[in-house]
Structure 1
Amino acid sequence: MVTFAVFASSLWAATQIVTLSAPSMICAICPITVKKVLTKVSGVSKTDVNLDSHEAKEAVYPSTAAGSAK
């Protein structure tokens, strides 16, 4: 099970970079699965998942982010 903690910072007015902490992401398949799920979320334009740091970063358009998968 992957647990996420969300930290957001403003990149510019329309887009935010959100960093998700995933401490239980421990296998080589986890980043692939996490990236696949995040790219299906409305409003997410880019994702970067790092197994070594147990983090996923995503560029989000808050005005279009629905918080659920497409």
Structure 2
Amino acid sequence: MKRIAMACAALVLVWPAWAAQQTATLSVPGMTCPTCPITVKVALMQLKGVIGVQSDFSRRETTVVFDDTQVDLQALTRATREAGFPSTAAGVKP
């Protein structure tokens, strides 16, 4: 019984290590000029846990790679909104 309890405690301690990088695609319809993606990228890269940002201006989308133990989708969309570019999640994948 003691071994089971210790194994469970060990699992709780390493649980954050199991979190994977996530990739979210954000629809950002307000990107209307070629410099808009730069503003969106700067806003997102300021968040702890954001690993990379790539925008597709022609599709009005931004792809964000992030550590889901440090930042969540709500924080990503809040950052773009606060930068003047409201966004919505178009998809998330591990």
Distance 1:53 1:41 in 2: 24
User: Alpha carbon RMSD of aligned pairs, Å?
Assistant: 1.8
In structure 2, the partner of 1:35 is 41
Structure 1 runs (4+) deviating above 6 angstroms are none
Matched length:
57
Following the alignment from structure 1 to structure 2, what is the Cα–Cα distance between the partners of residues 32 and 14?
26
Q: TM-score, normalised by structure 2?
A: 0.55
User: Gaps (5+ residues) in structure 2?
Assistant: 1-18, 80-94
The structure with higher relative contact order (CA 8 Å, sep 6+) is 2
Structure number with bigger Rg: 2
Gaps of 5+ in 1: 1-12
Q: TM-score, normalised by structure 1?
A: 0.72
Q: Higher helix share goes to which structure?
A: 2
1:65 aligned to which of 54, 58, 71: 71
